[in-house]
Amino acid sequence: MRKFLYQTFILFIFMMQISTLSFADDLEEETIDVNAEIQASMNAKEVPQLNSRSCVVLDRLNQNILYGKNEKNKVKMASTTKIMTAIVVLENSSLDTTVEASKKAAGTGGSRLGLKTGDKITIRDLMYGLMLCSGNDAAVCLAENVGGSIEGFANLMNAKAEELGLSNTHFESPHGLDSDGHYTTAYELALLSNYALKNTTFRNIVGTKNYTVMLNGSPKNLSNTNELLGNLNGVYGIKTGFTNGANRCLVTACKRGDMDIICVVLGADTKNFRTKDSIKLIEYSFKTYEHFNIKDFINQYISDWQKNNPNFFSIEKGFSNQLEIQVDSSLEKTPIISVKKNLVDSIEANISLQTYLQAPVNQNDLIGQLQVSSEGTNIAEFDLFSNTSIRKNTITDYMFNFFKFYPNQLENSIKK
């Protein structure tokens, strides 16, 4: 009997460990002195040494990658999944709708809002439970009410991923508990976060430090699991994550001056490492980069070039040799780029054009390229097109030119 009880006890402990391994998510095992980590990273100027397996810093203005480490590798992302969950809910439901928690939602393990079967709560409050305390039970409750089921909601998530062009991202659940078919990349998670932050409601939720939800008419206080929110200058969201398969994850949005960045760290060994890595990357990015108006720079360069090279083109059989050039329209879409501060003064442009052309030359014909570089490093490259049309000479044109210039040529010959 004693042996049986002992075996039963061992089995119980084993099952509890398995449960923890399977459902751990955003549980607070570590206490972090965030201010100490901030101070330690303030003077970092060199490229930071990181523990995280995969990370990226993205400039929100132009989607330039300021730093990347395995940023396009497919990895598990734990509760950062809930960024997509929140967006799908916001775009497919009414926040003021009151819903009832199912047995399945109430039984979901890991980090929890604390739902019980039959609990009544608004979708708005579930959203705060999803993003602040990372409630897996809130995620399932939202999925069932918006998508009909976890599978149905996952279909909505994947459809949204496809719409956003996230080709290396796939969802199987609304909470992000480990699953082989549930993955993303640091880069695509940054792109998703950039999209999500354009939603005012989403941004307000992830930027909230503390919030009180009403559960069955009773108040429940929630605190945000994001350790950088309210502690690091400029941070305004967005989501933490942890599973044994994904390790520690953190997506952070931070704005200082005119620069607004998203920092993603995935696969850190501990919460302490994810905090350190995030701070290092954020401080490095703001100290290293600044915005540069490449549109104004290129337009001025081309204007000066045209003035200094009025007879550059020779257009065979062309009505004229006066050809104007224009830059690829992609310059209008990204007029501002991110450049390392120590390279700004050395930025230069180099133009490569076809000197000899054959008429007719049509407007928007490709005629060359323009490269922007700094200290031998290529920063950007743009195609150059004709901005005017040069038609081919006709017989009438040849006759007109003959009678226009021949008398003068004849007169000059006689005088000689």
Q: Confidence class of residue 394 from pLDDT cuts 50, 70 and 90?
A: low
pLDDT tops 80 at residue 230: yes
Q: What CATH class does 309-395 carry? A: mainly beta
pLDDT of residue 404: 54
pLDDT tops 70 at residue 18: no
List residues with catalytic annotation: 79, 82, 134
pLDDT tops 90 at residue 22: no
Domain boundaries, the chain: 24-289, 309-395
pLDDT tops 70 at residue 41: no
Q: Which of 33-47, 64-78, 168-182, 257-271 bottoms out in mean pLDDT, i.e. has the lowest? A: 33-47
Sheet holding 235-243, edge to edge: 65-69, 54-59, 259-268, 247-256, 235-243
Q: Which of 36-40, 95-99, 136-140 bottoms out in mean pLDDT, i.e. has the lowest? A: 36-40
Place of tokens 């909470």: 175
pLDDT tops 50 at residue 184: yes
Q: Which of 67-76, 115-124, 373-382 bottoms out in mean pLDDT, i.e. has the lowest? A: 373-382
- Kind plus residue range of the DSSP H or E element containing 249: strand 247-256
For residues 250-263, average pLDDT: 98
pLDDT of residue 44: 58
pLDDT of residue 47: 78
pLDDT of residue 31: 64
Q: Which residue has better confidence, 240 or 311?
A: 240
pLDDT tops 80 at residue 398: no
For residues 313-317, average pLDDT: 81
pLDDT tops 80 at residue 45: no
Q: Are 380 and 343 in contact (CB under 8 A)?
A: no
pLDDT tops 80 at residue 13: no
**Residues 401, 378: Cα–Cα separation, whole Å:** 46
pLDDT tops 50 at residue 391: yes
DSSP category for residue 49? P
Q: Which residue has better confidence, 370 or 403?
A: 370
Superfamily of structural domain 24-289: DD-peptidase/beta-lactamase superfamily (3.40.710.10)
pLDDT tops 90 at residue 120: yes
DSSP category for residue 189? H
Average pLDDT, the chain: 88
Q: Which residue has better confidence, 314 or 62?
A: 62
Predicted structure pTM score: 0.85
pLDDT tops 80 at residue 85: yes
Residues contacting 69, CB < 8 A, separation 6+: 50, 52, 53, 54, 55, 56, 186
Q: Which residue has better confidence, 290 or 16?
A: 290
Write out pLDDT tens, residues 203-228: 999 999 999 999 999 999 999 999 99
Q: Confidence class of residue 392 from pLDDT cuts 50, 70 and 90?
A: confident
**Residues 387, 366: Cα–Cα separation, whole Å:** 10
pLDDT of residue 23: 45
